[in-house]
Amino acid sequence: MTITAAWFGFANYSPLSYQDQGYRVLSELRTEVDFELTKPKNQTAICSIQALNNQFAQVGWVELEFGPSEFTTLRHTVAVNTTEEAVTGLVHNCALR
């Protein structure tokens, strides 16, 4: 059982993680999203950030690449252009390249 538990723990390990920190609706056509990204220093991550309206429909989307860095965890602020006023902004997904 110990080996099985260790295997499941190792199988679920990911060197990439992200955490939403907040957002700001700057105008009807622009929202900023703050998040922390943790990744290996020498790797590149691609993150998709979205803005949603009050019906949870996507009104803005941007995909950005975050290259190698001196630090494993960095805080980023990303501007998302929107088609209408958003009520929230968040990271949709991040993946290592």
Q: What is the pLDDT of residue 11?
A: 55
CATH code of the domain covering residue 89: 2.60.40
Give CA–CA dist 96/16, Å, rounded.
7
Residue 37 lies in a domain: yes
Q: Which pair of tokens denotes residue 4?
A: 């099985």
Residue 3 lies in a domain: no
Residue 62 lies in a domain: yes
Q: CB neighbours (10 Å) of residue 58?
A: 13
Helix and strand counts by DSSP (H, E) for the chain: 1, 6
Give CA–CA dist 57/69, Å, rounded.
34
Closest CA to 95 of 17, 23, 3: 17
Residue 60 lies in a domain: yes
Q: Is the pLDDT of residue 3 over 90?
A: no
Residue 89 lies in a domain: yes
Q: What is the pLDDT of residue 4?
A: 58
> Domain total for the chain?
1
Residue 1 lies in a domain: no
Tens digit of each residue's pLDDT (9 = 90 or more) over 36-92: 999 999 999 999 999 999 999 999 999 999 999 999 999 999 999 999 999 999 999
Question: Are the beta carbons of 23 and 33 closer than 8 angstroms?
Answer: yes
pTM: 0.85
Q: Residue 10 burial by CB count (10 A; 0-12/13-18/19+): exposed, middle or buried?
A: exposed
Residue 73 lies in a domain: yes
Residue 68: give the domain boundaries.
15-96
Residue 47 lies in a domain: yes
